[in-house]
């Protein structure tokens, strides 16, 4: 993989612009291309770097290596072109990710742009992807407004479902456990004040009410919060058997550590992004057992197991148990769409919307630009984060409640 850094990109901008004087000239050049230029802005530093560095960036790097090792992206005429990459660090800043994506489109004039990490960042750049005609494969974004966004930004693709999908699955699990007498029907809930947390908590409130779950504590906290002890103490005093946190990775890890320090032992512990990171299971060992979150895998899926092994061998880090495999699958979809339609972004986008693709997920097809066959709830069991809902989906593991108390 050939990676261009910012200074090199700026030096070459004038030459690139000179080549692309007219649409006709650009088309003619496309016939003589010797590579395909991809660009992305990703959080390599700042609070989002942990999530981006597990779920998104390694899969971008793995896919580019896999494609280039195979000779490049195959075009409709059978010719293969290697991938070149222009990469920017958005520094976990929404303003910077917008500037970087606009630069990729207008100055660098890359052939395709890959999506950033995070719900808020994907929403921030969606108008730019649409304005400049790039397909946006928004994997690390959870939003109930995806059906509306698809109508507004017709080349946007939403791969992780909406808040109501995850919230309803969790509400059903809690309702069943309450009816069985395993837990009481009270929930204490906190959420990060960002796109992800807002979408999830907005869906969870009515989902809990409809399921007969009493929300006895409900608090939102700002991005960057590090001390959760006041909220943990208040949740502990609420009488709820269930604690839910729609949190980002730094928060998820901090909540876990601070709950152990406070000896806060809810019978159901459901945390947000980061719970499905391999390092979460490694850091917490047996204490991870029974903790729930979004996502999960079928531990007996051999195709997924082969992907996970290759991911770790090539990148040096294990993939997460939620968005990683979907990120790689989305890139396989893009690769196949290019093979069928070439570098015409309009045609590639149409193919992504309507085509059927073989990916590490198996046969993959979007429904109105959305991926819908997903694990809505996962749980740590036997050292893996496994899918438990939908419970009737092939490969689902049986949920185990209540979770065990912390061990010292």
- Domain of 60, CATH number, reads 3.40.50.2300
Beta bridge partners of 4: 86
Residue 239: phi and psi, rounded to 5, are 85, 5
The reply to whether 73 and 136 lie within a common domain is yes
Distances (CA, A) of 280 to 218, 249, 250, 269, 287: 25, 10, 11, 14, 10
Q: Which domain holds residue 286?
A: 163-299+376-389
Q: What pTM was estimated for this model as a whole?
A: 0.86
SS3 content of the chain, % helix, strand, coil (to 5): 45, 20, 35
- For the stretch 198-253, pLDDT in tens is 999 999 999 999 999 999 999 999 999 999 999 999 999 999 999 999 999 999 99
User: Would residue 71 count as lying in a domain?
Assistant: yes
- For the stretch 294-316, pLDDT in tens is 999 999 999 999 999 999 999 99
Q: What is the arithmetic mean of pLDDT over 41-70? A: 96
The reply to whether 131 and 168 lie within a common domain is no
Cis (ω within 30 of 0) for the bond into 198?
no
Q: What is the arithmetic mean of pLDDT over 58-80? A: 97
The reply to whether 91 and 59 lie within a common domain is yes
The reply to whether 210 and 321 lie within a common domain is no
User: What integer pLDDT is reported at residue 405 of this predicted model?
Assistant: 95
Q: Categorize the per-residue pLDDT at 195 as very low, low, confident or very high, splitting at 50, 70 and 90.
A: confident
Q: Output the DSSP codes for 55-73.
A: IIHHHHHHHHHHHHHTTSE
Mean pLDDT taken over the chain: 92
User: What counts of helices (H) and strands (E) characterise the chain?
Assistant: 15, 17
Cis (ω within 30 of 0) for the bond into 63?
no
The enclosing H or E element of 174 equals helix 163-179
The reply to whether 131 and 13 lie within a common domain is yes
Using the 8-state DSSP alphabet, how is residue 215 labeled? E
The three-class DSSP label of residue 249 is: helix
Q: Categorize the per-residue pLDDT at 32 as very low, low, confident or very high, splitting at 50, 70 and 90.
A: confident
Using the 8-state DSSP alphabet, how is residue 114 labeled? E
Q: What is the arithmetic mean of pLDDT over 43-72? A: 96
- For the stretch 110-151, pLDDT in tens is 999 999 999 999 999 999 999 999 999 999 999 999 999 999
Q: Is the pLDDT of residue 27 over 80?
A: no
d(CA 25, CA 361): 39
Q: What percent of the chain has pLDDT over 70?
A: 92
User: Would residue 400 count as lying in a domain?
Assistant: no
How many domains does one find in the chain? 2
């Amino acid at each position: 993989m050939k990676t261009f850094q910012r200074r090199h990109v700026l030096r070459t901008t004038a030459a690139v612009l000179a080549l692309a004087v007219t649409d006709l000239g650009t088309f003619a050049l496309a016939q003589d291309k010797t590579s395909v230029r991809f660009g992305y802005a990703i959080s390599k530093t700042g609070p989002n770097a942990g999530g981006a560095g597990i779920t998104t960036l390694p899969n971008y790097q793995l896919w580019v290596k896999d494609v280039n090792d195979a000779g490049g992206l195959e075009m409709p005429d059978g010719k293969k072109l290697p991938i070149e990459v222009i990469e920017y660090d958005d520094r976990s800043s929404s303003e910077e990710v917008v500037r970087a994506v606009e630069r990729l489109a207008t100055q660098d004039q890359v052939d395709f742009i890959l999506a950033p990490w995070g719900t808020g960042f994907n929403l921030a750049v969606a108008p730019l992807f649409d304005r400049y005609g790039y397909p946006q494969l928004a994997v690390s974004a959870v939003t109930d407004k995806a059906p509306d966004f698809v109508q507004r930004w017709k080349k946007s693709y939403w791969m992780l479902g909406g808040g109501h999908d995850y919230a309803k699955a969790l509400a059903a699990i809690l309702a069943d456990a309450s009816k069985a007498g395993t837990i009481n029907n009270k929930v204490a809930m906190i959420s990060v004040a960002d796109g992800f947390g807002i979408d999830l908590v907005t869906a969870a409130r009515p989902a809990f009410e409809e399921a007969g779950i009493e929300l006895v504590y409900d608090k939102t906290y700002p991005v960057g919060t590090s001390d959760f002890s006041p909220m943990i103490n208040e949740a502990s005093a609420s009488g709820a058997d269930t604690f839910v946190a729609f949190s980002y990775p730094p928060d998820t890890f901090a909540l876990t550590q601070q709950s152990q320090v406070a000896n806060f032992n809810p019978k159901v512990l459901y945390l947000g992004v980061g719970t499905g990171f391999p390092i979460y299971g490694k850091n917490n060992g047996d204490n991870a057992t029974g903790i729930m979150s979004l996502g999960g895998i079928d531990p007996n899926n051999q195709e997924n197991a082969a992907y996970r092994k290759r991911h770790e061998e090539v990148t040096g880090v294990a993939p997460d148990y939620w968005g990683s495999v979907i990120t790689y699958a989305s890139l396989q979809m893009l690769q196949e769409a290019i093979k069928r339609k070439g570098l015409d972004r309009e045609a590639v986008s149409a193919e992504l919307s309507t085509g059927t693709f073989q990916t590490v997920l198996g046969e993959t097809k979007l429904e109105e630009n959305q991926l819908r066959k997903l694990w809505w709830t996962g749980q740590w069991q036997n050292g893996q984060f496994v899918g438990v809902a939908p419970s009737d989906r092939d490969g689902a593991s049986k949920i185990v409640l209540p979770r065990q108390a912390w061990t010292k």
